[in-house]
């Protein structure tokens, strides 16, 4: 990367029953919601493996050094946003290994995001939106 900043990347595995275009769009949305991740250059998603039970997706984005946080904080915020976005769309994250469909969908509905001891002031930017 030219200039200051750093690259962040993370992997998820999602079952073949979720359209890859949807997965890519959700990962990009999670990156857009993450403070300190730059929108230019645009975050990108790569399919790095087509395994027996799941494709593997790699999200790569650039983070700014301006008002920089430690890499761990940026990665933590990104992972929180990935979980929120996938839950919002009802898509299970089957990382690190997907072997079979569980009997029940493994997503957390919005109304359960802040069960005790979590506090509502920990809302993600998406959850703060009205309606």
CA distance readout (Å), 71 to 35, 43, 60, 84: 12, 16, 14, 20
- Please answer whether residues 43 and 32 qualify as being in contact, where contact means their C-beta atoms are separated by less than 8 angstroms: yes
All structural domains of the chain, each given as residue ranges with its CATH number in brackets, are 6-128 (3.30.70.100)
Using pLDDT thresholds of 50, 70 and 90, give the confidence band for residue 2.
low
| Mean per-residue pLDDT over the chain, rounded | 83
pTM above 0.85, yes or no: no
78-107 pLDDT, tens digit each: 999 999 999 999 998 876 666 667 777 767
| Separation of alpha carbons 119 and 126, rounded Å | 16
Burial of 27 (0-12, 13-18, 19+ CB in 10 A): buried
């Amino acid at each position: 990367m030219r200039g200051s900043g750093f690259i962040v990347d993370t992997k998820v595995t999602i079952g073949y029953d979720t359209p890859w275009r949807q997965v890519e769009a959700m990962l990009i949305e999670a990156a857009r919601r993450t403070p300190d991740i730059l929108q230019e250059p645009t975050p990108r998603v790569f399919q790095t493996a087509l395994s027996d039970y799941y494709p593997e997706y790699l999200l790569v984005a650039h983070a700014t050094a301006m008002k920089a946080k430690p890499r761990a904080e940026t990665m933590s915020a990104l992972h929180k946003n990935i979980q929120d976005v996938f839950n919002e769309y009802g898509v299970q994250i089957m990382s690190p290994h997907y072997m079979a469909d569980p009997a029940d969908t493994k997503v957390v509905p919005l109304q359960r995001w802040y069960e005790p001891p979590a506090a509502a002031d920990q809302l993600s930017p998406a959850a703060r939106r009205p309606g």
